[in-house]
Copies of this chain bind each other. A is one copy, B any other.
Amino acid sequence: DDLEDGRPRMNDIEDPFVSDPTRDPRLRQITAKPCNAETAGEDLAEAFLTPNEVFYVRNHMWVPVIEDTAADAHGITIELPDGDVKTYTVHDLKAKFKQYSVTAVLQCSGNRRRDMTEHANKTNGLQWGPGAISCAKWEGVRLRDVLKDAGLPLDDLPEDAQHVQFSGLEAYGASIPIHSALDPRGDVLLAFKMNDLPLPRDHGFPVRVIVPGTVAARCVKWVSKIVVSDEESDTSWQRRDYKCFGPNETRDLDWDKYKSIQEMPITSAITRARKKSADGNHVEVEGYAYSGGGHEIQRVDVSLDGGKTWDQASLVDDSEQDSGSKAWSWKRWRYEGALPTTTEAAAFVVKATDDAYNTQPQCYKSIYNLRGNLATAWHR
């Protein structure tokens, strides 16, 4: 009998993480199995496009094994509301559809969760610092083109085409609203390349969904199935984990009360502070600002006195660096100033404003939620 209490014995379960890739030591590991690791401030500050090897990793399970030689044969099954099923291999996708490149940030809804825990209250979830965000150039085919080819009538959508569900090889799943998937200026891709290289295994090799402007939790890696449905994906990642309840709503939650996080709100963070004078008073501070939904950062306000008075940081990145229909990327910023003393460094505050003139909340307490999602308060 192979069973103990009706289950296989521990030693009989092969560790599904045994084939996970080796990670760059510069990544700051939060959990090993599954791998969750954030990008160091230094690496966020250094480049507009985060190098693949230090791009933050957020895995819900193990990394599926697909040999390089098997990549082109990897299939994606597409199911339409009328029951039609069609399968495209990666080879088919590359041969049949025009490829596009899009520069876009990916960000975990839990980015900066640690700050919310520290400044508000206990939160459930990985305790990320400000490094659960990175920016890359993605290349692949448009989901819109593929769905059209598969037979979805884009100009006369059936009533039951409300959501597009994605499933990955490791069993993760999530969905996006149909209009996000089909927006001609939404730039939703089935991506094969990241910063001009084949997708690394940790980032979805051989193919990952990229939904610019939207929480990375919808950008399903190792995608193998796409279903157009009248319902959202039924996973807890879609229906429970990635929502924000009110600060007081901590028990007996009605999970259907609020919408799943999709478009991300505006945020900013400090990534690096360096002394520019011998006495250490003159300091250069750097960081990023990002808003979801294709909104462009307009202004980054910094304060040396905890928010009483403000000045503007210089924006390092300009819109020329973006490829794609909207502003899907971040803007890095830089500010030089004289801080009174290093011990008062906590008085340095940053907040950003986007082109809809949305701004960040001042305090974590007012946006506190049990899951610690979207910890976008002014960063200190």
Contacts and interface: CB of A to CB of B under 8 A. Distances in A.
Contact of A310 (B247, B265, B266): B247
State which size class the interface on A falls in: 35 or more
A353 interface: yes
Contacts of A248: 309-312
A191 interface: no
Contact of A249 (B179, B292, B312, B363): B312
A293 B356 contact: yes
B361 A244 contact: no
A89 interface: no
A355 interface: yes
Contact of A366 (B259, B293, B351): B351
A265 B357 contact: yes
B247 A301 contact: yes
Contacts of A361: 359-362
A358 interface: yes
A261 interface: yes
A355 B298 contact: no
B179 A244 contact: no
Contacts of A246: 299, 301, 310-312
A185 interface: yes
A235 B245 CA distance: 43
Nearest to A184: B184
Contacts of A311: 246, 248
A62 to B, nearest CB: 30
Contacts of A39: none
Contact of A357 (B351, B355, B374): B374
Interface in A96-144: none
A265 B358 contact: yes
> Number of copies of this chain in the oligomer?
2
A199 interface: no
Nearest to A260: B355
A217 interface: no
Interface in A265-310: 265-266, 292-293, 296, 298-299, 301, 307, 309-310
A247 B259 CA distance: 33
Q: Which of A259, A310, A366 has its CB near the most chain B CB atoms (within 10 A)?
A: A366
Given A248-B310, A298-B259, A366 B356 contact: no
Contact of A362 (B185, B356, B363): B363
A258 interface: yes
Q: Which 5 A/B pairs are nearest by Cβ-Cβ distance?
A: A263-B356, A362-B362, A265-B358, A358-B358, A265-B357
Interface of A: 179, 183, 185, 244, 246-249, 258-259, 261-266, 292-293, 296, 298-299, 301, 307, 309-312, 351, 353, 355-363, 366-367, 373-374
Given A248-B309, A261-B357, 18 more contacts: A244-B357, A248-B312, A249-B312, A259-B296, A262-B355, A263-B356, A266-B358, A292-B356, A293-B293, A293-B356, A301-B366, A351-B366, A357-B373, A357-B374, A358-B358, A359-B367, A360-B361, A361-B362
23 contacts: A179-B185, A183-B185, A244-B298, A244-B353, A247-B301, A248-B311, A249-B312, A258-B298, A259-B298, A263-B355, A264-B356, A264-B357, A265-B358, A293-B293, A357-B373, A358-B358, A359-B361, A359-B366, A360-B361, A361-B361, A361-B362, A362-B362, A362-B366
